Copies of this chain bind each other. A is one copy, B any other.
Amino acid sequence: MTIMRIGRAELRVLNLEESVKYYTNVIGLDEVGRSEGKVYLKAWDEYDHHSFILQEADSPGLDHFAFKVEHEDDLAMYEKKIEQFGCTLKRVSKGTRLAEGEAIRFELPTGHQVELYHDILRVGTRTGTFNPHPWPDGLRGIAPHRLDHLALTGDDVGTVTRFFTEVMDMFISEKITTIDGEEMVGSFMYARNGKAHDIAFIKGPDKKLHHAAFYVDNWYDVLKAADILTRNNIAIDVTPTRHGITRGETTYFFDPSGNRNEAFTSGYITYADFPTITWTEDKIGQGIFYHRRELSESFAKALT
């Protein structure tokens, strides 16, 4: 009865083919299927059929994201808890998307659409599970291991955080509060998977996406990622640096539709007893960008 990880994000993009080119050649995801105008993608180190879906739309942003649960009957259990919390919820039937089984879909207090699912076709990786090599031939671009986390904005960070901890059994690795400690203006949450975060919320307009992050191997691969971005003339929002929050190493940039992406690595390991770290708003600059020590306007304001 456990959420395993953020398993999928579906993004709206303005030009589908241009976006597919970017996510396959620059990010280096593999296209694994197309159906009803959507393109399904996965990172080389993920074994489920897909983790990233693109749909063409008039405006960029997040269609929905989804957590994979450990057991099929976790869906019913969470269904009850989610409805008790007061969220509107519906079942998504098998076959709604490629290679997926039944799911439940609901709206967060911040207006974001979330799904839970267990059933998805398992396609494995190119390295396989029998006497495997550590990484496959033929990697392209940034070549991240996986979709790592999303950061979203919402008006009421406190309530959505309570939803994730109380209903979804997730944990808070770090939080940002006003200086007086009265209001939570940011929270970073993880499932029982050792990650620094699966999902983060920052105070801002509801329903918005701040960024979708992919996990790369190490600090040299963050450099390589930024090099590849410049070579491909991709707009970089934040050049390689360290986060205070999560300690991770990072660079931020924009997909062709303006959705922010991150190449992220490192950060600490979390367990269920990880002592939540608190940042006060006056130190948020250092918390987000440990070296620069102040937010940039674009980082604070560009949302999709």
Binding site for B on A (CB under 8 A): 2, 4-5, 45, 47, 68, 70, 122, 124, 129-135, 137, 145-146, 192-195, 215, 217-220, 223, 226-227, 229-231, 236, 239-242, 244, 247, 249, 251, 266, 268-269, 271-280, 283, 286-287, 289-293
Contacts and interface: CB of A to CB of B under 8 A. Distances in A.
B133 A230 contact: yes
B124 A275 contact: yes
Given A68-B271, A219-B219, A240-B241, 7 more contacts: A4-B272, A130-B278, A135-B227, A193-B193, A230-B286, A239-B291, A239-B292
Copies of this polypeptide in the complex: 4
Contacts of A292: 236, 239
Contacts of A70: 272-273
11 contacts: A4-B271, A129-B276, A129-B278, A131-B279, A133-B244, A193-B269, A220-B220, A226-B290, A227-B242, A227-B291, A240-B240
B269 A241 contact: no
Nearest to A192: B192
Given A192-B2, A275-B124, A280 B239 contact: no
A5 B291 contact: no
Contacts of A137: 231
B131 A283 contact: yes
A273 B249 CA distance: 27
A45 to B, nearest CB: 7
Contacts of A195: 194, 269
Contact of A291 (B131, B145, B251): B251
A227 B133 CA distance: 9
